[in-house]
Amino acid sequence: MSRFQFVADHCDAFEVKWLCAIVEVARSSFYAWLAGADGRAARTAADQALRARIRAVHAGDNTYGAPRITAELNDGVLEGDRVNHKRVARVMRTAGIADNMRTELVADALHAADALRGTLSGVVFHADHGSRYTSKDFAQLCDDLGVTQSMGGVGSNADNALAESFNATLKREILQDRSSWPDAATCRREVFRWLVRCNTTRRHSHCRYVSLISYERTLTPATLPQAA
C-alpha cells in the first residue's frame, strides 16, 4: 500500500493534514495523487485488458518473450492502437508471464559458484551489455566477491566467442532429437541435465578429451593458462 493510499483510506477518521505529517508526504502531493485517481483506474483497466491479450498469445506459444509477443499483438493493428514492447514487458513481469533474465538470477548463479569453489577472488566475469550485468547491484556483488567484470563490444559476438561456442554446442546436442518442449519446466530440466553431463562426463576436445571437472582437477600453475 502506498502512503497516499493510506491517507485516502483513513481521511474520514483523521485530518488529512495530520495523516500527511505522519506518513511524511506533502498535502499538495496527496491531493494531486487523489485528482489522478480516474487516470490510474483507466490505466489499470487497460493493463488488465492487455494482460488478457498477452496470456492468449503466450498460451499459443509459451516460448515467446516480450519482443515476439509485442510483434504478435501489433500484427495488422493500426498505428494508434499499437503497444510498446516496454509496456508489454512490464505487464508480463507483473503478471508473472515468460520469466526472463533478471539480475537476481545471475546473482544467484554467482553466489552458488562462490559457495561451491570457496572463493571467486581473481575471477574475470565476461558478459554482454545486458541490463542484468550493468546494474549497480550486480557490480557491487562482483566487487564484494573479488570478481573483475569484463564486457564485450556492443553488437560484436566475436568478443564473446567462447560463450557463443558453448551455446551452439548446447543447442545442437540438446535439440538433436526434438524441436520443442511441451513447457518451460521441461526445457529447464533438460538443459540442467545436459549441463551436469557437460561438466562431469562429456569429453571435450580442448580438454584433451576428458571431462571439464577431471581436467580442472589436474591443472597445475603451468597448465592453467591453457585452460583460460
Q: Does residue 130 contact residue 163 with C-beta atoms inside 8 Å?
A: no
Q: Does residue 50 contact residue 91 with C-beta atoms inside 8 Å?
A: yes
* Domain ranges within the chain, ordered by starting residue: 3-95, 101-155, 160-228
Dihedral-angle region of residue 219 (phi above 0 means left; psi in -120 to 50 means alpha; beta otherwise) = beta
Question: Who contacts 127 (Cβ-Cβ below 8 Å, separation ≥6)?
Answer: 133, 149, 150, 151, 152, 160
The CATH number fitting domain 101-155, selected from 3.20.20.20, 3.30.450.20, 3.40.50.1240, 3.30.420.10: 3.30.420.10
Task: State pTM to two decimals.
Answer: 0.52
Looking at residue 6, its pLDDT comes to 92
Looking at residue 220, its pLDDT comes to 54
Looking at residue 228, its pLDDT comes to 44
The candidate with the shortest Cα–Cα distance to 157, out of 134, 195, 126, 133, is 126
CA distance 139 to 145: 10
The alpha-carbon radius of gyration of the chain (Å, integer) is 25
Looking at residue 206, its pLDDT comes to 82
CA distance 106 to 112: 10
| Tens place of pLDDT per residue across the chain (228 aa) | 689 999 999 999 999 999 999 999 999 999 999 999 999 899 989 999 999 999 998 888 777 788 889 999 998 887 778 998 889 988 988 887 876 566 788 888 899 989 988 899 999 988 877 777 888 888 999 999 999 998 877 766 667 777 788 888 998 888 887 777 888 788 889 999 999 999 999 998 888 899 988 888 887 555 544 444
